């Protein structure tokens, strides 16, 4: 995983630093001096950089034409001391895209296809781009949310009867390019007595013609439509202001805190039926504009309705498209009954506010900046936050799940040893597995693949959440089976696998995060640093299937690496317990033994480890519970079971002899008993201090 990127100054070819990068893709880059009038690309970049730099990120602006796919590098521009500086660096993993209007689409599509194949993330995501660019598809999808918010839409068929049907609903209709943008190529037909006025909008110009027959209108459209696909859309009886049509451009941004809302009003030229800025429209602040039409109280209620509707729509779409939305614009209409309609979606909205003011933003006084910060600067801020959130989610290249809990709830994470799969294997430990919120185990036996029906029944019934797969079952077929069961998999080297899992626990406003690794990646130290920056209270678990006496982690344990980086290490090797090491508040079990601890006639002890996480007074209380079990995989009838009292105290003697501390600190372990049996309780972190 490329978390940090070395980059080079093109001018002197020297290595400058290592930082976190976000890319911004444009179709062309024109760099001017800031004291002159910067280009629109520079204005967008400056506002993004202004927020990114606050969080130790940097922005590089580049075009697909300047990407070297073989070397995986790009030549682009960074911002340094307020100036644009040309650099060469590896392609960033997270990128915002504002590429449109260029004729060189082949290079663009080659790059997008390559990026998708090689794990580079580009936003807006392709699925949302495909939705927003297709007005017919947009209407169909939004109708599944609520038919009443979508103007009635059909594919245009060059049919007089179809036009008559729409004109029965209203004396006006819209014929739009199915894949158009910026208001170009729109035809509007108005019926007045027995005549039809057809207006054609293209390149900020309007051409109007009157016909006596709808068939002549169809011929006129054919002459100007350039063989494009068109849709037919009913005209909404919208409210006008000073004889001008208006709509609301709502832009929604997502980050880890939820949705951010930004809006402006676009007012068309007088007597125009379109409000696009490209067709001569102007922008206004939403609240001020609504106050001109409605009373102040009514304006407030309408704006709240707009926010609620917009949030519900993007939430619906984000769920449908698996959480890929980082920025989405909705163009809303208000009819004379104050109903809302979605005219279009836009994945690449321009910066809000008056673009003519952006060029002087860096030199503005505080008072001047304040005038546009509600739109332009806030737009840049929200977009930057949404891209940083994508960086955060990608940080571990992981599975990621969120668990929403009540304030006083606890979360039970159960960690098991290697399980040799058969239908009756879990009979005695089933209750503790079903009692847990999340169950992690390593599965060994190929039976799981050979008997998918039994596997499905047993795995779901026993509450498996996340499994680490051994080499004999580590294949795409197995991963697909678990995916169908909604059970996550961890391992390495298979395309559908991943080495990390992140769980977010939301205790109302408090968020606690645990991360599970199955191996130590090369940039592990940096990943831990990044994790603790995003999640200061992160709990890190290393769940290692195999280890060797000379591996990298062994050399770092005595240097405090365990206490500083990892909270809990569980390591397996098919031998008896080697040691239990405690450093500070961190524990290492090495090895638990794959349930094969039968050596020199020792009893086959192993452990079920339970982490109980609870938020008390906004402080994380983490309790480590150790449930000893007996299991012997050398017998065919093996069924792990909890210990009786005599076995438990023998186990306690064994485990105490295997325990090491950094010094000679006393380890606070209590013997407890619950409905499952005897177990050992260890208080970690704040829970320990509270005692």
For 404-435, the pLDDT digits (tens) are 776 567 889 998 876 655 556 778 888 898 88
Task: With residue 519 as reference, give the H or E element that holds it.
Answer: none
Q: What's the pLDDT score for residue 4?
A: 40
Q: Residue 376: CA atoms inside 13 Å, Cβ hemisphere, count?
A: 23
Of the two residues 179 and 480, the one the predictor is more confident about is 179
Where does the chain hold its CATH 3.40.50 domain(s)? 5-123
How far is C-alpha 141 from the geometric centre of its chain's CA atoms?
21
Q: How far is CA 448 from CA 160, 323, 470, in A?
A: 63, 31, 11
Give the pLDDT score at 135. 93
Q: What mean pLDDT is predicted for residues 319-348?
A: 91
Mean pLDDT of 388-399: 72
Q: What CATH number has the domain spanning 5-123?
A: 3.40.50
Distance from C-alpha of 514 to C-alpha of 622, rounded to nearest angstrom? 11
The mean pLDDT value for 99-103 works out to 66
> Between 562 and 439, whose confidence is greater?
439
DSSP 8-state code for residue 192: E
**Rounded CA separation 331/574 (Å):** 62
Q: Name residue 649's beta-bridge partners.
A: none
d(CA 13, CA 73): 14
Number of helical H runs and strand E runs in the chain: 19, 37
Q: What is the pLDDT of residue 8?
A: 54
Query: Does the structure show a pLDDT above 90 at 617?
Result: no
Residue 101 contacts residue 28 (beta carbons within 8 Å) = no
Cα–Cα dist 569/551, whole Å: 14
Mean pLDDT, the chain, integer: 78
For CA atoms 39, 44, 49, 50, give the dihedral sign.
positive
Whole-number pLDDT of residue 43:
79
Q: What SS3 state is found at 589?
A: strand
Task: State residue 16's pLDDT score.
Answer: 44
What proportion of the chain, given as a percentage, has pLDDT over 90? 26
- pLDDT at residue 394, as a whole number: 72
Distance between CA atoms of 61 and 508, rounded to whole angstroms? 39
| Range name among 170-184, 240-254, 634-648 with the lowest pLDDT average | 634-648
Is 664 in a helix, a strand, or coil?
Answer: coil
Share of the chain above pLDDT 70, in %: 71
Q: From its phi and psi, is residue 201 left (phi > 0), alpha (psi between -120 and 50) or beta? A: beta
CATH number given to 395-690? 3.60.21
Pairing of strands 669-674, 677-684: antiparallel
Q: How confident is the model at residue 456 (pLDDT cuts 50, 70, 90)?
A: low
pLDDT for 146 beyond 70: yes
Instruction: Categorize the per-residue pLDDT at 2 as very low, low, confident or very high, splitting at 50, 70 and 90.
Output: very low
pLDDT digits (tens, 9 = 90+) for 352-376: 555 455 556 566 666 556 656 667 7
CATH of domain 125-151+240-347: 3.30.470.20
- Rounded to 5 degrees, φ, ψ at 283 are -110, 150
pLDDT of residue 11: 54
Return the structure tokens found at 360.
């002087």
Stronger pLDDT, 536 or 494, i.e. the higher one: 536
- For residue 15, pLDDT over 80 is answered with no
pLDDT (tens digit, 9 = 90+) per residue, 564-576? Answer: 678 888 876 555 5
Give the pLDDT band (50/70/90) at residue 3: very low
Cα torsion angle, 550, 553, 557, 558, sign = positive
Name which residue leads in pLDDT, 295 or 664: 295
CB-count exposure of residue 51 (10 Å: 0-12, 13-18, 19+): buried
304 has a pLDDT exceeding 70: yes
Architecture of domain 152-235 in this structure: Alpha-Beta Complex (3.90)
Say which residue, 13 or 526, is predicted with more confidence.
Answer: 526
Query: Sorting pLDDT into bands at 50, 70 and 90, what band is 448?
Result: low
Res. 555 pLDDT band, cuts 50 70 90: low
pLDDT bracket for residue 330 (50, 70, 90): very high
Give the other-Cβ count within 10 Å of 349's Cβ. 20
Look at residue 369 in the predicted model and tell me its pLDDT.
62
Match 């169909």 to its residue by tokens: 140
**Residues of CATH 3.30.470.20 domain(s) within the chain?**
125-151+240-347
Q: Is the pLDDT of residue 401 over 50?
A: yes
**CATH 3.60.21 location in the chain:** 395-690
φ/ψ bin of 242: left (φ > 0), alpha (ψ from -120 to 50), beta (otherwise): left
Q: What is the mean pLDDT of residues 206-218?
A: 91
At 398, the pLDDT band (50, 70, 90 cuts) reads low
Q: State residue 496's pLDDT score.
A: 43
Does 258 or 400 have the greater pLDDT score?
258
pLDDT at 472 over 80: no
């Amino acid at each position: 995983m490329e978390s940090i990127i070395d980059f080079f100054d093109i001018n002197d070819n020297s290595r400058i630093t290592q930082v976190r990068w976000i890319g911004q893709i444009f179709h062309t880059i024109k760099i001017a001096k800031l004291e002159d009038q910067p280009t629109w690309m520079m204005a967008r970049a400056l506002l993004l950089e202004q927020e990114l730099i606050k969080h130790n990120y940097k922005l590089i602006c580049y075009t697909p034409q300047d990407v070297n796919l073989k070397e995986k590098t790009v030549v682009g521009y960074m911002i340094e001391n307020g100036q644009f500086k040309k650099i060469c660096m590896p392609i960033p993993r997270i990128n915002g895209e504002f590429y449109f209007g260029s004729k060189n689409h082949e290079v663009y599509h080659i790059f997008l296809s390559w990026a998708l194949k090689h794990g580079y993330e580009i936003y807006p995501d392709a699925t949302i781009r495909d939705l927003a660019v297709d007005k017919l598809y947009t209407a169909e999808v939004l109708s599944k949310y609520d038919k009443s918010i979508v103007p009635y839409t059909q594919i245009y068929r060059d049919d007089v009867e179809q036009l008559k049907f729409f004109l029965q609903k209203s004396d006006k209709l819209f014929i739009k390019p199915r894949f158009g943008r910026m208001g170009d190529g729109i035809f509007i037909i108005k019926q007045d007595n027995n005549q039809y006025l057809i207006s054609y909008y293209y390149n900020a110009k309007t051409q109007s013609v009157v016909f006596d027959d709808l068939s002549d209108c169809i011929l006129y459209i054919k002459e100007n439509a350039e063989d494009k696909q068109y849709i037919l859309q009913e005209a909404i009886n919208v409210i006008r202001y000073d004889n001008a049509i208006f709509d609301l451009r709502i832009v929604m941004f997502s980050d880890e805190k939820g949705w951010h809302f930004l809006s402006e009003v676009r007012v068309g030229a007088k007597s125009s039926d379109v409000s696009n800025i490209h067709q001569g429209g102007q922008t206004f602040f939403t609240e001020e504009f609504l106050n001109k039409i409605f009373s102040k109280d009514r304006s407030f209620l309408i704006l709240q309705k707009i926010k609620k509707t917009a949030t519900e729509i993007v939430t619906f779409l984000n769920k449908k498209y698996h959480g890929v939305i980082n920025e989405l614009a909705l163009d809303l209409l208000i009819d004379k009954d104050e109903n809302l309609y979605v005219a279009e979606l836009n994945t690449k909205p321009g910066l809000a506010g008056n673009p003519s003011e952006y060029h002087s933003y860096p030199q503005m006084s505080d008072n001047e900046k304040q005038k546009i910060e509600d739109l332009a600067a806030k737009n840049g801020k929200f977009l930057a936050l949404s891209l940083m959130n994508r960086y955060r989610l990608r940080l571990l290249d992981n599975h990621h799940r969120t668990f929403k809990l009540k304030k006083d709830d606890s979360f039970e994470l159960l960690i098991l040893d290697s399980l040799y799969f058969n239908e009756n294997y879990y009979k005695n430990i089933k209750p503790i597995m079903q009692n847990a919120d999340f169950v992690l185990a390593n599965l060994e036996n190929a039976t799981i693949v050979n008997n998918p029906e039994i596997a499905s029944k047993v795995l779901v019934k026993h509450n498996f959440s996340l499994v680490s797969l051994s080499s004999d079952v580590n294949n795409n077929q197995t991963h697909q089976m678990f995916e169908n069961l909604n059970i996550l998999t961890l391992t390495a080297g298979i395309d559908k696998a991943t080495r990390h899992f992140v769980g977010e626990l939301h205790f109302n406003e408090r968020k606690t995060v645990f991360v599970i690794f199955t191996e130590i990646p090369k940039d592990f130290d940096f990943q831990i640093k990044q994790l603790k920056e995003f999640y200061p209270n992160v709990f890190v678990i290393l769940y290692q299937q195999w280890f060797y006496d000379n591996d990298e982690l062994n050399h770092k344990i005595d240097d405090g690496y365990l206490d500083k980086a990892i909270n809990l290490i569980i390591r397996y090797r098919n031998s008896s317990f080697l040691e239990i090491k405690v450093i500070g508040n961190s524990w290492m079990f090495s090895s638990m033994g794959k349930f094969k601890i039968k050596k020199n006639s020792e009893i086959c002890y192993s452990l079920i480890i339970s982490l109980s996480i609870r938020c008390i007074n906004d402080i994380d209380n983490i309790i480590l519970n150790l449930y000893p079990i007996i299991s012997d995989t050398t017998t065919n009838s093996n069924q792990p079971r909890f210990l009786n009292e005599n076995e438990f105290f023998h186990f306690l003697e064994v485990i105490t002899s295997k325990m090491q501390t950094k010094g000679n600190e006393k380890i606070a372990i209590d013997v407890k008993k619950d409905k499952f049996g005897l177990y050992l309780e260890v208080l970690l972190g704040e829970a320990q201090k509270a005692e």
